[in-house]
Amino acid sequence: MEKEGFSGARLHHIAKGTPDVKRLVAFYQEILGFERMENPDFGGLEVVWLKLGQALSLHLIKSDPNSSSSIPTHCMKPMDLPRAHHLCFSIPNFDSFMDTLKERGIEFHHQTRADGIKQVFFFDPDGNGLEVCSEVVSL
């Protein structure tokens, strides 16, 4: 049952803290094709907003190195990501994207599901799990 007032809701953005905003901006631009967008001045806090098409916005925010919620110190292997916390993007040019990962020396785990959809799992420079699949997955 749909809650009144929540009708028409959609994902607006994902915010991610990082100790190195510039490094993560470069990764998401170079590997996944995000584009920088204008963002407000947050009074000295380093923040960069990125967009992927018109549907997704990613806000990268300088994390507090003294915070207990900073980046984990351990990292799983990419082959563990199918059952772990990750963001997924679908793209039409999957094979070309795989070439990019190989050229950049990014460690990944690749698999093809029984329904033929290709998937690749890898980490961004901060250890956030990512998946790219060969077509849009129905929710």
Q: Would you say residue 35 lies in a domain?
A: yes
The parent domain of residue 23 ranges over 14-62
Q: Would you say residue 5 lies in a domain?
A: no
Please check whether residues 89 and 56 belong to one and the same domain: no
Number of domains composing the chain = 2
CB 19 within 8 A of CB 63: yes
Please check whether residues 128 and 83 belong to one and the same domain: yes
How confident is the model at residue 30, as a pLDDT?
A: 96
Q: Would you say residue 7 lies in a domain?
A: no
Please check whether residues 56 and 84 belong to one and the same domain: no
Give pLDDT tens digits for 60-109.
Answer: 999 877 765 544 544 578 887 766 678 888 888 899 999 999 999 999 99
Q: Would you say residue 72 lies in a domain?
A: no
Higher pLDDT, residue 8 or 17 = 17
Please check whether residues 87 and 55 belong to one and the same domain: no
How confident is the model at residue 55, as a pLDDT?
A: 81
How confident is the model at residue 7, as a pLDDT?
A: 57
Q: Would you say residue 128 lies in a domain?
A: yes
How confident is the model at residue 49, as a pLDDT?
A: 93
Give pLDDT tens digits for 107-137.
Answer: 999 999 888 889 999 999 988 889 898 875 5
CATH of the domain at 125: 3.10.180.10
How confident is the model at residue 120, as a pLDDT?
A: 92
Please check whether residues 54 and 82 belong to one and the same domain: no
Q: Would you say residue 85 lies in a domain?
A: yes
Give pLDDT tens digits for 13-61.
Answer: 888 888 999 999 999 999 999 999 998 888 888 999 999 988 889 999 9
